[in-house]
Amino acid sequence: MSDLETQIRNISLKSPSEALDARVFAVLRDNDESIIGDRKNEQQDAARTSDSIQTIQPGRRGAAMTSGWIVAAVSMAIGAIAGRSLPSFSEIHGHRSQHVSVEETTALNSENQQQQFLNTPELEIKNQDSRLVSTTNGHTESSQIAESLWISPLAAAVAWEQQTGQIFNVRNHINDRRFDMCRDCHRVGG
Amino acid sequence: MRPELEQVYRQHRQSLFTLALTILGCSGLAEDAVHEAFVRLCQKSDRPKESLVAYVFAAVRNAAVDFHRRRNNQQALMESLFHEKGKAFLLDGTAKAENHTKEDEQENELKSAIDQLDETSRQIVVMKIFSELTFDEIGHVLEMPPATAATRYRRAIMKLEEKLRKNS
């Protein structure tokens, strides 16, 4: 050991208080076994609590799953009932294809039959649509009538025939999401 | 293991406290850290594979580091590791104080030089000089290779010598 090391060794360090000795000996000796025991018990309690939380969690998850299934089933039942009460897409289309066949369109050409057709309850209901009323009353362009998605294609055909005096040919009719008009009108850009 | 722990505490209580003090820089906190370390040691039932002394020192150091972290890594309070001897001598009388002035000055210089060392170097110096731990044990406590601990110790001693030379 060098001189400097000896010199350092001779310096008096700050010593801990007697209170620290008492505290450490209290921990080390058996008298304070209870303190350590208490700490261990606390840890065990904490572990038990976390275990119980873990056991509760699957139960909660199960309840959530059950309630989710119930909600899903109820919503499906409501959807099914509501769906049955509404007319299906195929029915609407079938109705249209039934009524607006080539034969019928030729038959519709006569004014009396047109009037009869307009007086049918279905069309009366359709006439309640403000757009239909406004178009049938005011507008002259049949393409605008046909373009409207809110107007029944059947009513539009009838209105078009009334205004133009021509026969509505279904085969020439374009009906997709964007257009609902005759091919000629479509080619012209009407 | 408790009687052995008690024996280690009796032998190294000063160094254990000083080691905690180098990290925390506050006597009160250092005492708390030492106490906490022994509480943790008592809770462990398994015997350490390495030297028990190194194990206890490592426990105290870890407890002190935890305390330091709990204070949100605040700047360590710079409480000196040593007693302020000079002031006590002045109370004894002027003549006596004059006789001891030069020695006290030298000692105070050495103390301040040690206090100015970096934290790890101070810890190594305390463990090596005051507790006579081997570099293997110091390396275990500080989680570094023994060779690194030895190198850092040598550098610290050289630094101290240089400072004392400059001051003289």
Say which amino acid occupies A183.
R
Taking the C-alpha atoms of residue A36 and residue A27, their distance in angstroms, rounded to an integer, is: 8
All residues of chain B having their beta carbon less than 8 Å from the beta carbon of residue A20 are: 13, 17, 31, 34-35
Token pair of B16, please? 């254990």
Among A62-71, A145-154, B26-35, whose mean pLDDT is lowest?
A145-154
pLDDT of residue B145: 92
Segment B98-147, tens digit of pLDDT: 555 666 777 788 888 888 888 888 889 888 888 888 999 899 888 899 99
Taking the C-alpha atoms of residue A148 and residue A142, their distance in angstroms, rounded to an integer, is: 10
Tokens 């049949």 correspond to A142
A5 CB-contact burial (10 Å; exposed 0-12 / middle 13-18 / buried 19+): middle
Please check the confidence at residue B15 and state whether its pLDDT lies above 60.
yes
Token pair of B51, please? 């030297």
Q: Min CA distance, B148 vs chain A (Å)? A: 19
Measure CA A139 to chain center. 38
User: Coil, strand, or helix at residue B140?
Assistant: helix
Say which amino acid occupies B78.
M
Q: Min CA distance, B126 vs chain A (Å)? A: 9
Q: ipTM beyond 0.90?
A: no
Please check the confidence at residue A72 and state whether its pLDDT lies above 90.
yes
User: Which of A7, A15, A16 minimises the CB distance to B110?
Assistant: A7
Query: Among the residues of A119-178, which ranges form H helices?
Result: 121-127, 130-137, 142-147, 153-164
User: Coil, strand, or helix at residue A173?
Assistant: strand
CB A120 within 8 A of CB A154: no
